[in-house]
Structure formats: structure tokens, C-alpha cells
């Protein structure tokens, strides 16, 4: 705050929440450039009978001050490229929504205008290929091929601060996978294979990096990147490039 601690300076790094109180014993661990974790304990976890428990959170920096990041929560998201602001999506044919469009100059509206219904998975899934589908990045338009359900895989080994995640098209078992030649695809079924398990880590600036546990045919540690305006791929993580950064928006 620009003031001596004795004069009321300083600010909380993390406060009580989610039925846990008494954060203490801060520790900092640097995983990679732009990827940091903080360890501490909760003095009392109400869901664990009030006992003291270990916790590991992402560590972010706001105006050069450490702030605890939020643990990633499972849910259905748009996965948005920071580079372009476009959404990760299946490379499938565009299916127009029902209801048509009402543009300018089409006469006066003489009766109530009903809202358009969201496009549903059953409206489009039969137009998708049955096998592996390529990926692309496009403007988010509320479509089923752009909505991803992300859940932790709790029966697999994890990494510092969390479990690996499966990332599937909402309402299906079609899973994001790290394929050969440093590409990403959507396979028909999630099997728990290493190339279908994803590490999701908040970066020190509050954005995220997304990394597969393994890449088919490759021994390098790679991250999901936006290689061009419309092409996702796998490459070396670079904290100084927006190509390596992603956001998750609830949909």
C-alpha cells in the first residue's frame, strides 16, 4: 500500500472462505516462468471436522503484491485464446440456428418478438464426423461445438496443486487430445489415456496455461498454443507470449 506495516500498510494474501479459516505459514514455489504456487495451511477446515489441513493455491501478482489465485473449478466453459479472443472449437460445418434473422429495413414489428432458442447438441451432432475431429479457433457464438465440460480425473496421479482434467464437448464423451505432429484433436471417446489428461494452471497474471500429460510421438513438455488466427496447436510454453495463454468463461 506504500505505507509501513506499523502505519497500517499491507494487505491480505488470502482470507477465510469455502468453510476454511485461519490461513498461515506461507510458502512460495516457482514452477516455471509465470507459473507459481503458494503452500499454506488452513487452521480449521469445517468439512474436515475443524482440523488443520494443507492447501496449495496458484500464486498471482497484482501491483507487485502476492495474491492467492482461485483453485480451478469443474464446469462447462468457453476456452478462449488470450491471443485472439476466439474460442477453441471443433472444426465442423456451420449449422445455422433456427428462426432466421431480423435485420434493418424489414418493416414495423406488429407483434411480440419471441426469443431465439439456443442451438442444442441434438440439432447438430449428426452433422459431425464420427471419428477424430480437427480443432480450430473461432468467434464464440454459443454453439455446442464450442462448449467444453471440464472435470478432474481423480483416479489418476495429479501434479502440484491438483488433479489432471478431462476436457470433453458438453453432453458428449468426445475428448480433447494431444495428437502426433504437435496437433490437438477431439477423439470420439475419453479413455483416460495420457494424451487426454490436461494440466490446468493459473498463471501469475491470472490467465491459464493448458498442458497435456503426454503428447503422442513426442517427449517434449508442450502447452496448448494459438499458432495463428484460427489454428490451435502444441508448442513450448512462453509466458511472454499471449499465444500460450487461455481464459475460461462460464457458458
- pLDDT tens digit string along 28-43? 999 999 999 999 999 9
Segment 94-113 shows an average pLDDT of 71
Above pLDDT 70, what percent of the chain? 96
Task: Enumerate residues 6+ apart whose C-beta is below 8 A from 67.
Answer: 13, 14, 59, 60, 61
| pLDDT value of residue 174 | 98
pLDDT band at 108 (very low <50, low <70, confident <90, very high): confident
Is residue 149 within 8 Å of 168, Cβ to Cβ? yes
- pLDDT tens digit string along 12-29? 889 998 999 999 999 999
Q: C-alpha cell of 196?
A: 487426454
pLDDT band at 103 (very low <50, low <70, confident <90, very high): low
Segment 71-93 shows an average pLDDT of 95
For residue 37, the number of C-alpha atoms closer than 13 Å in the C-beta half-sphere is 15
**CA-based end-to-end distance of the chain:** 36
Per-residue 3-state assignment (H helix, E strand, C coil) for the chain: CCCCHHHCCCCCCCCCECCEEEEEEEEEEEEECCEEEEEEEEEEEHHHCCEEEEEEEEEEEECCEEEECCCCCCEEEEEEECCCCCEEEECCCCCCCCCCCCCCCCCCCCCCCCCCCCCCHHHHHHHCCCCCEEEEEECCCCCHHHCEEEEECCCCCCECCECCEEEEECCCCCEEEEEHHHEEEEECCCCCCHHHCEEEEECCCCCEEEEECCECCECCCCEEEECCCCCEEEECCCCCCHHHCEEEEEC
Residue 216 has phi, psi (to 5 degrees) of -60, 130
Q: C-alpha cell of 136?
A: 480450430
Q: Is the pLDDT of residue 64 over 90?
A: no
Q: C-alpha cell of 35?
A: 507459473
| pLDDT value of residue 65 | 87
Match 510458502 to its residue by C-alpha cell.
27
For the chain, domain boundaries: 5-68, 75-93+120-250
Q: Is the pLDDT of residue 238 over 90?
A: yes
Segment 48-60 shows an average pLDDT of 96
Between these two residues, 59 and 157, which has the higher pLDDT value? 59
pLDDT band at 101 (very low <50, low <70, confident <90, very high): low
The residues pairing with 148 across neighbouring beta strands, listed in sequence order, are 77, 169
* Mean pLDDT computed over every residue of the chain: 92
| pLDDT value of residue 44 | 96
The pTM score is 0.90
Q: Which region among 3-12, 69-78, 162-171 has the lowest average model confidence (pLDDT)?
A: 3-12
Burial of 203 (0-12, 13-18, 19+ CB in 10 A): buried
| pLDDT value of residue 9 | 85
Segment 211-224 shows an average pLDDT of 96
Burial of 105 (0-12, 13-18, 19+ CB in 10 A): exposed
Identify the CATH number of the domain defined by range 75-93+120-250. Answer: 2.80.10.50
Amino acid at each position: 500500500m506504500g505505507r509501513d506495516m506499523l502505519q497500517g500498510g499491507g494487505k491480505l494474501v488470502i482470507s477465510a472462505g469455502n468453510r476454511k479459516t485461519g490461513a498461515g505459514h506461507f510458502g512460495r514455489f516457482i514452477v516455471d516462468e509465470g507459473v507459481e504456487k503458494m503452500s499454506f495451511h488452513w487452521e480449521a477446515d469445517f468439512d474436515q471436522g475443524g482440523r488443520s489441513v494443507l492447501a496449495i493455491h496458484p500464486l498471482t501478482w497484482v501491483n507487485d503484491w502476492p495474491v492467492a489465485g482461485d483453485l480451478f473449478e469443474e464446469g462447462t466453459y468457453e476456452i478462449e485464446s488470450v491471443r485472439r479472443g476466439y474460442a477453441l472449437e471443433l472444426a465442423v460445418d456451420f449449422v445455422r440456428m433456427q428462426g432466421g434473422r431480423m435485420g434493418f429495413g424489414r418493416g414495423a414489428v406488429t407483434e411480440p418478438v419471441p426469443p431465439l432458442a439456443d442451438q442444442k447438441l441434438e440439432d447438430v451432432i449428426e452433422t459431425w464426423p464420427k471419428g477424430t475431429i480437427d480443432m480450430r479457433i473461432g468467434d464464440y457464438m454459443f454453439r455446442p461445438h464450442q462448449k467444453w465440460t471440464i472435470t478432474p480425473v481423480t483416479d489418476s496421479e495429479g501434479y502440484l496443486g491438483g488433479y489432471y482434467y478431462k476436457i470433453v464437448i458438453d453432453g458428449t464423451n468426445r475428448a480433447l487430445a494431444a495428437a502426433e505432429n504437435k496437433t490437438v484433436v477431439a477423439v470420439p471417446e475419453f479413455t483416460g489415456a495420457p494424451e487426454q489428461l490436461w494440466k490446468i494452471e493459473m498463471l501469475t497474471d491470472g490467465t491459464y496455461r493448458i498442458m497435456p500429460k503426454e503428447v503422442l510421438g513426442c517427449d517434449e513438455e508442450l502447452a496448448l498454443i494459438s499458432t495463428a488466427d484460427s489454428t490451435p496447436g502444441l508448442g513450448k510454453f512462453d509466458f511472454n507470449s499471449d499465444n500460450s495463454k487461455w481464459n475460461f468463461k462460464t457458458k
